[in-house]
A and B are shown apart, each in its own frame.
Chain A
Amino acid sequence: MTPTLQIFLIVSAALFSIGLLAALSRRHAIFILIGIEMMLAAANLNFIAFWRFAPKPHQPPVGVMLALFSIAISAAEAAVGLAMVIVAYRHYRTTNVDQLDQLKG
């Protein structure tokens, strides 16, 4: 049995849903960041799968390039997000996102 494109997309959809679960249901800020990283990784998996299964290969490998740039952007996002978690912890002494409600009307 050789895996088809559909199976790769379903695995990637499962990964995205697990990331969504972590981002929506946990109340700890670091868990939310982990979930967002997982959703970005699922998108990267989709890029690579579509590149590999394309019937006619492009000369600059577009899917691979998109995945590389997206990995770089998610690394930048993780750095800034974790810095924000540390700053919020320093100010409010908590990383629970339910207690960071200063701006709530």
Chain B
Amino acid sequence: MNGAAFIVISILTLAAALAAATLRKLMHAALSFAVAFVGIAAFFFLLGAEFVGLALVFIYIGAVAVLIVFTILLTRRDIEKDRGFNWSGVIIAVAVFCGLTWAILKTASLSIVAPHIRALTVKRIGEALMTSYVWPLQCIGLLLTAALIGALVLVMEEKR
């Protein structure tokens, strides 16, 4: 695992995430959101989970970011009026970050380097999904179908 790559990816990801959280224009925030997810997918590649990284790119940048952009365009009239910024949120977020960092640094058993493992091939993931995880897989399929049908029913125009 490469240290320089890790530093570059973490700076990119955190900067894009911070931009997505604080930029005033919604469209710029949505694009920074997509960049932040590119960074997270790069982390997954760095950690050796290539399949999950690709799934993240397909689902978040291909579907969720596009869905967010569509929603912004459909609710356009409101964009100028996004003025409120709650400063107590900053305090809470910084406090949570300090607490988590303190807990992580205090736990000595977490300062380990990655062991050498067998490469995780798509074949192994597919075998696991089709044998020991087949029941959760079907439940997830049902949940996704129900959620997407529910979203469609929610936004359907009512006939009057």
**With contacts A2-B3, A13-B97, A67-B49 known, is A96 near B112, CB below 8 A?**
no
**A24-45, CB < 8 A from B:** 24-28, 30-31, 33-35, 37-38, 41, 44-45
CB distance from B105 to the nearest CB of A (A): 7
Report how far A16 CA is from B148 CA in the complex, Å: 26
Does A60 sit at the interface, judged by CB under 8 A?
yes
Picked from A3, A31, A44, A77, the residue with its CB within 8 Å of the CB of B29 is A31
For A52, the closest partner residue in chain B by CB is: B47
- A2 CB contact (under 8 Å) in B29, B114, B124, B132: B114
Tell whether A24 pairs with B17 under 8 Å between CB atoms, given A49-B47, A69-B136, A82-B71: no
**Would A34 and B140 count as touching, CB distance under 8 A?**
no
B49 contacts A48, C-beta separation under 8 Å: yes
| Chain A interface mostly | helix
The reply to whether B59 and A75 form a contact with Cβ atoms under 8 Å apart is yes
Tell me, in angstroms, the Cα distance from A3 to B81 when the chains sit together.
43
Interface centre among A53, A64, A85, A89 (most CB of B within 10 A): A64
What bracket does the count of chain A residues touching chain B fall in?
35 or more
B144–A75 CB distance below 8 A: yes
Partner of B14, one of A2, A9, A11, A93: A11
Find A52's partner among B33, B48, B55, B110 (CB 8 Å cutoff).
Answer: B48
List of B residues within 8 angstroms of A77 by Cβ: 147
Give Cα A51 to B120, complex, Å: 11
Rounded to whole angstroms, the CA-CA distance of A75 and B58 in the bound complex is 11
A5-29 interface (Cβ within 8 A of B): 5-11, 13-28
- By a beta-carbon cutoff of 8 Å, the part of chain A in contact with chain B is 1-11, 13-28, 30-31, 33-35, 37-38, 41, 44-45, 48-49, 51-55, 57, 60-61, 64-65, 67-69, 71-80, 82-87, 89, 93-96, 98
* B positions within 8 Å CB-CB of A: 1-3, 6, 10, 13-14, 17-18, 20-22, 26, 29-30, 33, 36-37, 40, 43-44, 47-49, 51-52, 55-56, 59-60, 63-64, 67-68, 70-72, 74-75, 77-78, 81-90, 92-94, 96-97, 100-101, 104-105, 110-115, 117-118, 120, 124-125, 128-129, 131-133, 136, 140, 143-144, 147-148, 150-152, 154-155
